[in-house]
Structure 1
Amino acid sequence: MVRILLILFLAATAASAQETDLPTERARLDLVLDDPGAQPMVGRMVLATIRGVYAVNITLEELKLRRMTGVDWVRLGQDNWSQQRIDGRSLRVFERRIALYPKASGSLTILPIAHDLEYLEAGQRRRAIVRSEPVTIEVRAAPVAKGDTWLPARAVELSDSFSADAAQLVDGESVERRVILRVFGATPEMLPPQPAMRAPWLITFSPPEERSQQLTPEGPVTTVIWRWTLRPTTGELGVLPAVTIPWYDTDRDQSQTVTIPAAPIGYKSFADNSASSWSEGFAGGWRILLIWMASGIVSLTLLAAGRGSRRAGVSAARKVLTRWKMRSRLRRDARRDNDADFRKTAVAILRSQQDSSNKPEFLLLRPLDEQVFGKGPTPSRIDLRVLAKTILHRPR
C-alpha cells in the first residue's frame, strides 16, 4: 500500500512539473569570457562568467557544467542572483564566476552548459533546460620543453624564515626553516613539489607540506607551506644553496623566477674552538683562522641579506596584495561598464606607479574624463576593458 502511494505521489509531482521549451527572450544562458579574443597558453587561467537572464519565476535550479577532457575548471565562489532592468524589462540575472585551465594546445571547444530550471507559470510548475552555445578558444603551446617546470600565474610571492639564527646554533640544536609560496592564478596541483634540502653534513626531516586555496572572483590564490627541520652533524659552518623556482607572468607575458635564498647553518661553538686551537700553537692554526674568518664573513653577509629580505618581503607582500585588489577592482569595474568607479581605481593605480607631480600617463584617462564629466563630445562609449588592458600592461 505504501509503495502504491509513493508511486502515485511521484507521478503527480512529475505531472505537475511539465517540461517546456523557453524562447531566448524569456531564458538565455551564455558563457562570457573576460577576454574573448585572447589565445592563452596551455595551463594559463582563462576567466569567464556563466550568465543567465530569465523572465520567469524560478523556484528551483541546478547548473550542470560537465567535466571535459581538454580543460579543467574551478568555481570561483558562490552564485550571484540579482534583479536587473534590461531593455526596459525587470529580469532575473544569474552569474557564476569560473576559471578555465586548458590542458592541450590547439582549438578548445567548451561544450554547452545546461541550466535545469523549475518555474511557476499560470499556477503550474513547469520545467525547462536552458543551454549555452559552445565556445571555442585557440590555445597556444607552453614555451618550455617537455618535462620542464611550467607555472603560469598572475603573481607569485615567497617568504623565508628560520626558527632561530641558523648560523649560531647551540651544540646539538636543530632549527626549522619555513618557506611560504603564494601563487595568484594557479591551482594547488600546478605548484611545484617541495624542494630537497640535503647535504652530507646535515640531517634533514621534512613534514608533509600544506597546500590551501582561497577563491576570489579574479582567480584562485594558492598557498603552499614547506618546512624542514635541520641539524648539522659537524661543527663547521656550511651553506645551503639557493633554490630557484621559475614561473611565467601571464599579465606581462614573460618568464620570471623566485628564489629561496642561500643560507648558512652551523654551531656557534665552532668559532670558539677554532680560536682556541690557534692560540695553543701555530701548527695548522693559520688555516683554521682563515676558514673561520671566511665563514664568518659569509655568515654575516648572508644573515644581513636574509634579515633584510625578510623585512622587505613583508613590505613587498603587502604591496602585492594591495596591487592585486586594485587590479581586480579595475577589471570588475570594466566588466560592469561603471566608468565613474573605473576612473577612481585607474587614478589610484597610475598614482602608485609614478610621482603624482609628473602625470604624462594620465593622458590615457582624458577620453574617459570627457565621457564621465561631459567636458567634450564623445563619439561613442569607451571600451573600458581595452582601457584597463592598456593601464595594467604599462611598463613600470
Structure 2
Amino acid sequence: MSPLRLALVALVLAAPLAVWPVAAETPTARPAVAQPAVAIDGARLRLEVVSNGRPPMVQEMVLVRVRGFYTIPIALTKLEVPPMEGFRVLTIGREHWAEAQEDGIQGRAMEQTLALFPQASGRLTIPPIVQHLTVFDTAGKRVEVAIATAATTLEVAAPTVAAGTWWLPARRLTLTETWSEPPEALAIGRPVRRTVTLEAEGVTDDQLPPPPKLAAAGLIVFSEAPERRTVISAEPKGKKGEALRQSLPRPGRLAVVEGRDGPIGRIVYSWAVRPVSGAPAELPEISIPWFDTEAGEMRMAVLPARTVAFRQAGRSLEELERDIGLTARPMTPVSRTPGDLALAALAFLTAATATTALLRRRLVPAGGPLSRFMGKLRDGWARRRARRALRRGDDATAWRLTAGLATPADVAAREAIERRLFGAGGGRP
C-alpha cells in the first residue's frame, strides 16, 4: 500500500476518536427560557414602597404598590407575586386600571397594592414581581412577553418592648366594652355578660392578643372563647362607581370593605360575671399596649375598672336568700303545753298505725303461705295468753282470747269456759 493510502486510512480511523471527547462534553440542548425584562418598548413595571420616614419594624404592615405604564395595546395581563422569604403577603383589592400620562406621553396605568408583614429583623429582599402580557405586534399578531420590577431591599428594625410583652404594631386601635345589664345595679341571682371588642388597622386577627385575665374577690367569672375576624380594606380610587367595582370585588377568603388600604383585625372577648355576696366587687382595668406605626411611639389602650354590685330594693341579699330557703332560718323558742304534747303523740301513733297496716297489707297478701304462717303464730300466741288467764282464774279474758280459735280442742275449751261463766244453758251476753 502506498504511503498516500496509508495516510488516508489513518485519518479515517482517527476522526471518530477526535470527535468523541467533544460530543461527550457538549451539554444536552434545552429550550431557551425567556427571562422577564424590567421594561420593554411601550411597557414598564416598577415597585414603590410606602414609607413612614423610618425603617419598618417586625410584623408592621408595609404597603408596596406595583405600578405599570403602557403605550402599546394589551390583550391579556396577569400579575405574578412570587413567594417572599421573610414576609407574609396580602393582596389589597384588585388591579386598578385608568388612563394616565407620564413624561408627557398618554397611555394606560395599572396599580396593585400589596401588604407585606416582615417576620424578622435585618435586611430583607423583596424579589421581582412579574407581569405576563399578551400584546399585539406591528403585524397585528399576539405576542406573549413578561416584564418585572427590580428587586428591592428593605431594612427591618426589631421591636422595642420588654420580653414577654405582646407586640402589636397598628395604624389605629380601638378598645370598647358593653354590658348586658348595668354592672353596678344587677338583679338578684342573674349573671351579667361583659363584652370587650378590640379592633386594629394594619394587622390581621392572629396578631391580636389573647383574652386578658379577669378575676376579682367576690365574683365568679366564666371566660368564653374569643371571636376573631379579618377584613381587607381597599381605598377607593377614581369615580364612586369605579371605586366600588375595583375595591369591592368578588368575595374571597377575606371580605373586602371600603376604607384605607390594609387589613383590619378584630377580636371580641366575652365573660359571664356573677357576684357571690351582697358586697360590691371591683373588676380591675384592662390595659393593652400597642405601637402606633403612624406616630412611631408606644401607646396604651385602657378600659377603667368597674364596680359590680346588686341593686338594693329595700331588702338585703341575706333577707331575700332566707325567704327563698337558701339559708337556714334561726329557731325561735316556742312554749309547749301538756295538751300540745299529747296531741303530737296521738298524731304520731295514728300515722304509725296506718303505715303498719298499709305495709302489712302490701307485704303479706291474704291467703298466701306467709299469711297462713302469720295466722298460726297469732293463734299460738292467743292460746298461751288464754292458759295464763285460766291459771289466774280470769275466765272472761280467756274467753275473749279464744274467740278466733277454730280447732276442736279450742272449741271444747271455749264451751267449758262459757258454762262456767254463763251457766249450764250456755247463755251469752
Q: What's the TM-score, normalizing by structure 2?
A: 0.55
Residues 237-294 of structure 1: CA distance to partner in whole angstroms, max 9, x if unpaired? Answer: 21111121000112222111001221112322598427989xxxxxxxxxxxxxxxxx
3-state DSSP class of the match of 1:38? Answer: coil
Aligned-CA RMSD value: 2.7
Query: Are the aligned partners of 1:42 and 1:103 in contact in 2 as well (CA < 8 Å)?
Result: yes
1:206 aligns with 2:224: yes
Query: What is the alpha-carbon distance in structure 2 between the residues aligned to residue 20 and residue 182 of structure 1?
Result: 44
Equivalent positions of 1:190-201 (< 5 A) are 190-199=207-216, 201=219
Equivalent positions of 1:369-384 (< 5 A) are none
Q: 2:80 aligns with which of 57, 64, 73?
A: 64
Q: 2:63 aligns with which of 31, 47, 54?
A: 47
Q: 2:54 aligns with which of 20, 38, 41?
A: 38
Query: Are the aligned partners of 2:52 and 2:294 in contact in 1 as well (CA < 8 Å)?
Result: no
Post-superposition offset of 1:112: 0.6
3-state DSSP class of the match of 2:40? Answer: coil
Query: What is the alpha-carbon distance in structure 1 between the residues aligned to residue 303 and residue 163 of structure 2?
Result: 24
Query: What is the alpha-carbon distance in structure 1 between the residues aligned to residue 108 and residue 151 of structure 2?
Result: 23
3-state DSSP class of the match of 1:77? Answer: strand
Name the aligned partner's letter for residue 154 of structure 1: R
Query: What is the alpha-carbon distance in structure 1 between the residues aligned to residue 60 and residue 228 of structure 2?
Result: 23
1:183 aligns with 2:200: yes
Q: 2:172 aligns with which of 142, 155, 162?
A: 155
Q: 1:73 aligns with which of 69, 80, 89?
A: 89
Decide whether aligned partners of structure 1 residues 274 and 168 sit closer, same or farther in structure 2, where only a CA change above 3 A counts: same
Decide whether aligned partners of structure 1 residues 231 and 276 sit closer, same or farther in structure 2, where only a CA change above 3 A counts: closer
3-state DSSP class of the match of 2:93? Answer: coil
Post-superposition offset of 1:64: 1.2
Q: Which residue of 2 aligns with 1:240?
A: 283
Query: Are the aligned partners of 1:171 and 1:269 in contact in 2 as well (CA < 8 Å)?
Result: no
Residues 114-146 of structure 1: CA distance to partner in whole angstroms, max 9, x if unpaired? Answer: 111222333322111211100111111110234
Query: What is the alpha-carbon distance in structure 1 between the residues aligned to residue 34 and residue 140 of structure 2?
Result: 15
Q: Which residue of 2 aligns with 1:141?
A: 158
Q: 2:233 aligns with which of 198, 215, 218?
A: 215
Query: What is the alpha-carbon distance in structure 2 between the residues aligned to residue 58 and residue 123 of structure 1?
Result: 11
Name the aligned partner's letter for residue 254 of structure 1: E
Residues 7-37 of structure 1: CA distance to partner in whole angstroms, max 9, x if unpaired? Answer: xxxxxxxxxxx98977534221111012296
Decide whether aligned partners of structure 1 residues 148 and 203 sit closer, same or farther in structure 2, where only a CA change above 3 A counts: closer
Query: What is the alpha-carbon distance in structure 2 between the residues aligned to residue 150 and residue 271 of structure 1?
Result: 50
Query: What is the alpha-carbon distance in structure 1 between the residues aligned to residue 172 and residue 94 of structure 2?
Result: 24
Q: 1:107 aligns with which of 99, 123, 129?
A: 123
Query: What is the alpha-carbon distance in structure 1 between the residues aligned to residue 35 and residue 116 of structure 2?
Result: 31
Decide whether aligned partners of structure 1 residues 130 and 206 sit closer, same or farther in structure 2, where only a CA change above 3 A counts: same
Query: Are the aligned partners of 2:278 and 2:316 in contact in 1 as well (CA < 8 Å)?
Result: no
3-state DSSP class of the match of 2:177? Answer: strand
Query: What is the alpha-carbon distance in structure 1 between the residues aligned to residue 271 and residue 152 of structure 2?
Result: 46
Name the aligned partner's letter for residue 257 of structure 1: M
Q: Which residue of 2 aligns with 1:250?
A: 293
Query: What is the alpha-carbon distance in structure 2 between the residues aligned to residue 190 and residue 238 of structure 1?
Result: 32
Q: 1:173 aligns with which of 170, 190, 204?
A: 190
Post-superposition offset of 1:203: 3.6
Query: What is the alpha-carbon distance in structure 1 between the residues aligned to residue 314 and residue 162 of structure 2?
Result: 46
Q: What's the TM-score, normalizing by structure 1?
A: 0.60
Query: Are the aligned partners of 2:93 and 2:232 in contact in 1 as well (CA < 8 Å)?
Result: no
Query: Are the aligned partners of 2:277 and 2:317 in contact in 1 as well (CA < 8 Å)?
Result: no
Name the aligned partner's letter for residue 194 of structure 1: P
Query: Are the aligned partners of 1:152 and 1:250 in contact in 2 as well (CA < 8 Å)?
Result: yes
Query: What is the alpha-carbon distance in structure 1 between the residues aligned to residue 220 and residue 68 of structure 2?
Result: 59
Query: Are the aligned partners of 1:167 and 1:264 in contact in 2 as well (CA < 8 Å)?
Result: yes
Query: What is the alpha-carbon distance in structure 1 between the residues aligned to residue 35 and residue 220 of structure 2?
Result: 71
Query: What is the alpha-carbon distance in structure 2 between the residues aligned to residue 271 and residue 115 of structure 1?
Result: 77
5+ residue gaps in structure 2?
A: 1-32, 236-260, 321-429
3-state DSSP class of the match of 2:295? Answer: coil
1:26 aligns with 2:53: no
3-state DSSP class of the match of 2:54? Answer: coil
Name the aligned partner's letter for residue 211 of structure 1: R
Query: What is the alpha-carbon distance in structure 1 between the residues aligned to residue 279 and residue 313 of structure 2?
Result: 6
Query: What is the alpha-carbon distance in structure 2 between the residues aligned to residue 166 and residue 119 of structure 1?
Result: 67
3-state DSSP class of the match of 2:200? Answer: strand
Decide whether aligned partners of structure 1 residues 244 and 20 sit closer, same or farther in structure 2, where only a CA change above 3 A counts: closer
Query: What is the alpha-carbon distance in structure 1 between the residues aligned to residue 173 and residue 293 of structure 2?
Result: 11
Query: What is the alpha-carbon distance in structure 2 between the residues aligned to residue 168 and residue 36 of structure 1?
Result: 48
3-state DSSP class of the match of 1:189? Answer: helix
Decide whether aligned partners of structure 1 residues 142 and 271 sit closer, same or farther in structure 2, where only a CA change above 3 A counts: farther
Query: Are the aligned partners of 2:126 and 2:153 in contact in 1 as well (CA < 8 Å)?
Result: yes
3-state DSSP class of the match of 1:79? Answer: strand
Name the aligned partner's letter for residue 161 of structure 1: T
Post-superposition offset of 1:95: 0.1
Post-superposition offset of 1:158: 1.4
Query: What is the alpha-carbon distance in structure 2 between the residues aligned to residue 274 and residue 123 of structure 1?
Result: 90
What percent of counterpart residues are identical? 33
Residues 296-318 of structure 1: CA distance to partner in whole angstroms, max 9, x if unpaired? Answer: xxxxxxxxxxxxxxxxxxxxxxx
Decide whether aligned partners of structure 1 residues 186 and 36 sit closer, same or farther in structure 2, where only a CA change above 3 A counts: closer
